Structure 1
Amino acid sequence: MAEYGDGGCCRCWCSFIFTSGLTALFMWLSLRTFKPTCSIQDFYVPALNITDMSTTNDTIYFDLKLDNGMKDKGVHYANINLTFFYNTTLPIANFTVPKFYQGHKKNTHRRATVETSGLPWAAALDAVSNGSTVRFRVGLATRVKYKIMFWYTKRHSLVVGGDVVVNESGRKVNKKGIKLKSAAPTRGTYWVMMVGPFVVFIFFMNLLFL
């Protein structure tokens, strides 16, 4: 009877350990978050279109796409601050997208025209007129928080950027959207993608072999 009791207790304990490990894994999978994908889908500089020669038009038209790929979490964006650079270093314009909420598996476009200042139009027009290209850069900075069921996480910084090459048509050379990327992975992203699964695995194995 004692041996049977010990065996039953052992089976219950192993079942508890296994269930606890799976629960920890599922909790991690359900709570992990991914930052939204930001990209420039369209970029047009009318003054650099040599067939139009609208040299008095000092604006830039852009189409910013924000993509929430998570199927069970929403994203709340604070004000999105966009900075435009000529030749990747000279700041020429700023634009703010007002804060908003984005639902599960949704993508959102923000299209606008921004006035530039200090852009060396003569040099840029001369470059594209001679068959060369000019380079712009778009920097994006905001803070996001994620909605999981009925509650929000703390806010996380989102700072990304990307280069846009423009030719004599005044439009970006790359026909596809240009993904805005971070200069370096954040600690939070590294934890989610690399450290998180490892910790859950070690926790489960420790429980299993206690």
Structure 2
Amino acid sequence: MAESGGEGCCRCCCSFIFTSGLTALFMWLSLRTSKPTCSVQNFSVPALNKTDNSTTARNDHTISFDIKLDNGMKDKGVCYDTINLTFFYGQNYSFPIATYTVPGFYQGHNKHTNRTAMVEANGVPWEAAFEAVSNGSTVAFRVGLATRVKFKILTFYTKRHNLIVKGDVPVNDSGKKVNKKGIKLKSNAPHLGNHRLRLEYVVFIFTVLIIFLL
């Protein structure tokens, strides 16, 4: 009888450990997060439009853009801090030609948000750029995006994470980006992978589940 009771207790402990392990794995898989995707959907530089020979067009040194922010997670929200956009042109994109700031906002589950605006560009060699596109070449602008994001899971938020990405946008003699599809902005930093909940949140939830199972 004693051996039978011991075996039963052992099986019960093993079952409990196995169930707890599966629960922890399920929690990790279901609560992990992924950073938003950022892309340039539209990009227009009127001064490089060869079909418009007016003085107004040649002197229009603005850039119009449409940036898309995509939260692909179906059960987690994203809270953006202020988003800083920087535009570059020239050799090695060494100096900025324009900046723009997007106020921070919250983005719901599996949602995408577009931000469109116009900025005045300074320091671009417009005559040389126009000559290049007129001769069949393309010129490239670089768009950089920098912000910090935190993720809303259930009723609480994770810690903030840096989101710093950039991408090159080729423009042709229409004064618009060559690619019809959106240009994804990417990071040169090592892949951040999936962000996980802060350790204390995981420990708290796991502890509650253990107590419940007991």
Structure 1 letter corresponding to 2:193: T
Equivalent position of 1:207 in the other structure: none
Structure 2 equivalent of residue 182 of structure 1: 187
Q: 2:71 aligned to 45, 68, 71, which one? A: 68
Map residues 109-188 of structure 1 onto 2, 5 A cutoff: 109-186=114-191, 188=192
Deviations 1:103-128 (A, max 9, x none): 00000000111111111101100100
SS in structure 1 of the partner of residue 193 of structure 2:
helix
Aligned residue identity for 1:60:
I
**Contact 2:32 2:194 (8 Å CA) reproduced:** no
Task: Indicate the percent of aligned positions where both proteins have the same amino acid.
Answer: 71
The letter for the 2-side match of 1:77 is Y
Offset at residue 191 of structure 1 (A): 7.0
Q: CA deviation at 1:30?
A: 2.6
Q: Note if contact 2:71-2:109 (Cα within 8 Å) is conserved in structure 1.
A: yes
**Gaps spanning 5+ residues in structure 2: where?**
197-214
**TM-score normalised to the size of structure 2?**
0.86
Structure 2 CA distance for aligned equivalents of residues 166 and 6 of structure 1: 76
Tell me which residue corresponds to 1:52. 52
1:134 counterpart letter in structure 2: V
Aligned length: 191
Amino acid aligned to 1:33: T
- Secondary structure in 2 aligned to 1:95? strand
In the alignment, the residues of structure 1 paired with residue 71 and residue 3 of structure 2 have an alpha-carbon distance, to the nearest angstrom, of 56
**Alignment RMSD:** 1.3
- TM-score norm. by structure 1 comes to 0.87
Residue equivalent to 2:200? none
What is the CA distance between 1:24 and its match in structure 2?
Answer: 1.0
TM-fit CA distance, 1:3: 2.1
